[in-house]
């Protein structure tokens, strides 16, 4: 195993506990944890950080900054109050629903094959992100990032 795999096997429970504490057991704790792992793994010097003994501290700092800062991408994506959620447009005719569904289908067709297939299985079979990870063997973090990227793409295009 690699040094990063060993690190996460040894520290996952502690990082999970930290995410729960930082969020006050908000249901977003799991998203925060996996978001943090993704950020951490993208660092060029990840192995040096782990070797220095600062891996867990570094991850907890990412979690704290991401969750508490109102300018962080995590806050923007998951925590910011959204007018879209409070203002639901009225749909007067059933034709409008058909048009919207057609637009969504067209946007899904534009996705790369991996995202398209993943999203179709996610929707068609009614999976949660965790159940899809178990069914496919694809890491939950990877699925979560893909599904969220697809959702943002569709929202932007509509």
CB 28 within 8 A of CB 80: no
Calculate the dihedral angle through the C-alpha atoms of 65, 54, 34, 69, rounding to the nearest 10 degrees: 0
CA distance to 16, 24, 112, 139, 151, per residue, from 4 (Å)? 16, 27, 29, 15, 29
The hierarchical CATH code for the domain 93-157 is 1.10.10
Report CA torsion sign: 139, 25, 39, 120: positive
- Domain spans of the chain? 3-79, 93-157
- Residue carrying the six token digits 């249901």: 27
pLDDT for 84 beyond 50: no
pLDDT for 90 beyond 90: no
Collect all residues with Cβ–Cβ distance below 8 Å to 78 and sequence separation of at least 6.
Answer: 28, 31, 32
pLDDT for 72 beyond 90: no
Identify the band that residue 14 occupies on the pLDDT scale cut at 50, 70 and 90.
Answer: very high
* 89-92: Cβ within 8 A, 24+ apart: none
Q: Model confidence over 94-104: pLDDT tens digits?
A: 557 778 878 88
Identify the band that residue 85 occupies on the pLDDT scale cut at 50, 70 and 90.
Answer: very low
Q: Model confidence over 93-136: pLDDT tens digits?
A: 555 777 887 888 888 888 888 888 888 888 888 888 888 888 88
What CA–CA distance (Å, rounded) separates 40 from 32? 12
């Amino acid at each position: 195993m690699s040094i990063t795999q060993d690190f996460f096997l040894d520290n996952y429970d502690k990082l999970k506990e930290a995410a729960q504490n930082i969020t006050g057991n908000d249901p977003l704790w799991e998203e925060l944890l996996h978001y943090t792992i993704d950020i951490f793994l993208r660092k060029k010097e990840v192995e040096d950080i782990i070797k220095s003994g600062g891996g867990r501290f570094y991850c907890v700092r990412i979690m704290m900054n991401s969750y508490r800062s109102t300018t962080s991408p995590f806050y923007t994506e998951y925590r910011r109050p959204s007018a879209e959620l409070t203002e639901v447009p009225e749909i007067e005719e059933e034709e409008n629903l058909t048009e919207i569904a057609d637009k969504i289908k067209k946007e899904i067709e534009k996705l790369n094959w991996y995202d398209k297939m993943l999203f179709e299985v996610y929707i068609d079979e009614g999976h949660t992100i965790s159940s899809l990870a178990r069914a496919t063997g694809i890491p939950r973090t990877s699925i979560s990032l893909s599904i969220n990227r697809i959702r943002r793409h569709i929202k932007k295009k509509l």
